[in-house]
């Protein structure tokens, strides 16, 4: 198993809408997280398996063969220490069957909610940024 450096608080943000991707990445970046971006579930799987990610924030509905639910399932199976936050513009009943370590929230998402959820699911081996730094909404 790859050991993550204690200071590597990197979050993978997966979103096909550029403005939402920018919004989420900015919130996390201003709060001290390093941000890696992907616009499809397939791209996200490649990036997350490269290592160094403490959490994934993903849209549910994306182009390509891997949606957010499948991404969450595969991340939790292959990298159980990496938590996932799924975001959707519409409530989906499949959220009731989320794997452990996965949170679900509907859009629009407040910065404070996003940061709280990322902190809840993040790899416990990683030293997270000070919560008093950055965005306070």
- Could you report the per-residue pLDDT of 53-103, keeping only the tens digit for each? 999 999 999 888 999 999 999 999 999 999 999 999 876 655 567 888 899
Tell me: pLDDT of 19 over 80.
Answer: yes
Residue 135's pLDDT band, with cuts at 50, 70 and 90, is low
Q: Alpha-carbon distance 129 to 107, whole Å?
A: 24
Going along the chain from its start, the domains and CATH numbers come out as: 10-121 (3.40.50.2300)
Residue 2's pLDDT band, with cuts at 50, 70 and 90, is very low
Q: Alpha-carbon distance 4 to 109, whole Å?
A: 28
What pairs with residue 11 in β-bridges?
A: 35, 55
Q: Alpha-carbon distance 84 to 71, whole Å?
A: 9
Residue 125's pLDDT band, with cuts at 50, 70 and 90, is confident
Tell me: pLDDT of 4 over 60.
Answer: no
At residue 73, the pLDDT reads 94
State the average pLDDT for the chain.
87
**Separation in Å, CA 31 to CA 63, 97, 106, 118, 120:** 29, 30, 21, 11, 15
């Amino acid at each position: 198993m790859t050991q993550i450096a204690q200071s590597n608080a990197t979050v993978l943000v997966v979103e096909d809408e550029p403005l939402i991707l920018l919004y989420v990445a900015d919130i996390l970046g201003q709060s001290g997280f390093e941000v890696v971006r992907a616009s499809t579930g397939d791209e996200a799987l490649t990036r997350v398996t490269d290592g160094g990610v403490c959490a994934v924030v993903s849209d549910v509905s994306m182009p390509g063969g891997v949606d957010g639910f499948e991404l969450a399932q595969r991340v939790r199976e292959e990298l159980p220490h990496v938590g996932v936050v799924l975001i959707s513009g519409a409530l989906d009943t499949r959220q009731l069957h989320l794997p452990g370590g996965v949170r679900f929230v509907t859009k629009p998402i407040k910065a404070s909610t996003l940061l709280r959820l990322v902190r809840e699911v993040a790899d416990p081996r990683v030293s997270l940024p000070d919560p008093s730094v950055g965005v306070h909404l």
